[in-house]
Each structure stands twice: as C-alpha cells, then as structure tokens.
C-alpha cells in the first residue's frame, strides 16, 4: 500500500492508523502547495481533488477521504481493535465520531489556514471551534478515549486536527479533559512513530 501524505495535514490520521495496525505501507510525500510528488509527478493525476490523504492499495485501487481510509485500515487488522466490527451499533458510534470530527472540527479549522479570510471572520470560526471543544471536554470526562477504554481510529483523527490548535493560537487550557486525552494519545508509540516519520517531532 501507499499513503500519500503531507506533514501535519489530516493525512497524519491514517498514518497513525497504519502504524497502530502494524501494516506495511510506503509513505509518499505529496506537497499541498506545489501539488507535485518528489519525483515531479503531478499529484492531480493521483487525486483530481488535489488534497491528501489517498491510500493506494496493492492492486492500484485508490481510496480517498480520511474517515473511509482509517476504517479500511482498521478492518485489515481486526485484532488491533482500532474499530468495532462492521454492522454493530458501536461501529456506527465510531462513524458518528468520525463524522463529527470531519464536519464540526476539521472543517472548522479549514478557514483559519486561508490567508485571504479577514481576522474578524476567523474569530467567528474560532469561537465555534471553542464551543465544540467545550462539548468534547464534557464527553471525555471519565474516559480514556472517545469510545471509552480503547483507542480507536477516531482518536487518531481528532488528535491530528487538535494539533492545529497550537499554530492557530486556540488555548486548550479551559478543556482539561481534552488536554489529558491529547497527551495520552500523543504518548502512544505508534503516534510518536508517525509524527517522527513526518518530521513533526524529533
């Protein structure tokens, strides 16, 4: 398999999932600025939408969209318990979390990366994100992870986008359960390995 990624982007989420699953894969750096691979290949020929992640399977099939990719990865390593079994209510709970993270948190950050958006508009998006983290803080009270006692691919996704609070100057100190959860996830060996591989930590 190949994972097309950009350091620190949302592709860190499937990178973490692959490390947690212990699956063999080739990481392929895809610049989100030049939209070219290191060998000069036009990334739009890999993903016409131009963004990461893309997971290319051994038969050449390509899968887009992080929440779909991480569930595929989890299902390739069922003994790792990265996702509940398909068809169970708990699997739908996982999908509920992945959808919330994608639409309410990830997309909330997107405008903050756009230099053309005025600062006063960014304040509105930051306030919305803060309300979402306030809700997450309540959900994480008494829980080690989003689904309860066990790490899941949803934790990897939320960890990835929560890393963006630092460059965007969003203070997490009002959300101690989120802070404790973020530290817990960040200390996992697979998470450390993925971040080191992307040059995010030494």
* Structural domains of the chain sorted by starting position, each given as residue range(s) with its CATH number in brackets: 2-80+190-197 (3.40.30.10), 89-188 (1.20.1050.10)
Residue 53 has what pLDDT? 98
Distances 18 to 1, 61, 76, 156 between C-alpha atoms, Å: 10, 17, 10, 10
pTM of the model: 0.96
Residue 33 has what pLDDT? 86
User: Are 21 and 82 contacting, i.e. CB atoms less than 8 angstroms apart?
Assistant: yes
Structure-token match 């100057």, residue found: 169
Show the CA angle centred on residue 92, arms to residues 191 and 185, nearest 5°: 15
Residue 32 has what pLDDT? 85
Residue 187 has what pLDDT? 98
Residue 136 has what pLDDT? 98
Q: Mean pLDDT of residues grouped by 10 in the chain (202 residues)?
A: 97 98 97 91 96 97 98 98 97 98 97 94 96 98 96 98 96 98 98 97 90
């Amino acid at each position: 398999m190949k994972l097309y990624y950009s350091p620190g982007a949302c592709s860190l989420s499937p990178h973490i999932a692959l490390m947690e699953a212990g699956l063999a894969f080739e990481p392929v750096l895809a610049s989100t600025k030049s939209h070219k691979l290191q060998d000069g290949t036009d990334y739009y020929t890999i993903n016409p939408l131009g963004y990461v992640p893309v997971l290319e399977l051994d038969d050449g099939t390509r899968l887009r969209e992080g929440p779909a990719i991480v569930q595929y990865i989890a299902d390739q390593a069922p003994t790792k318990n990265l996702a509940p079994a398909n068809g169970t209510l708990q699997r739908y709970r996982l999908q509920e979390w992945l959808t919330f993270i994608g639409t309410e948190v990830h997309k909330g950050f997107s405008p903050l990366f756009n230099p053309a958006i005025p600062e006063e508009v960014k304040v509105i998006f930051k306030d919305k994100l803060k309300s979402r983290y306030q809700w997450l803080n309540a959900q994480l009270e008494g829980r080690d992870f989003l689904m309860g006692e066990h790490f899941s691919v949803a934790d990897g996704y939320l960890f990835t986008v929560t890393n963006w609070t630092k460059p965007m100057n969003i203070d997490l100190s009002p959300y101690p359960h989120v802070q404790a959860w973020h530290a817990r996830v960040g200390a996992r060996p697979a998470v450390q390995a993925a971040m080191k591989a992307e040059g995010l930590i030494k």
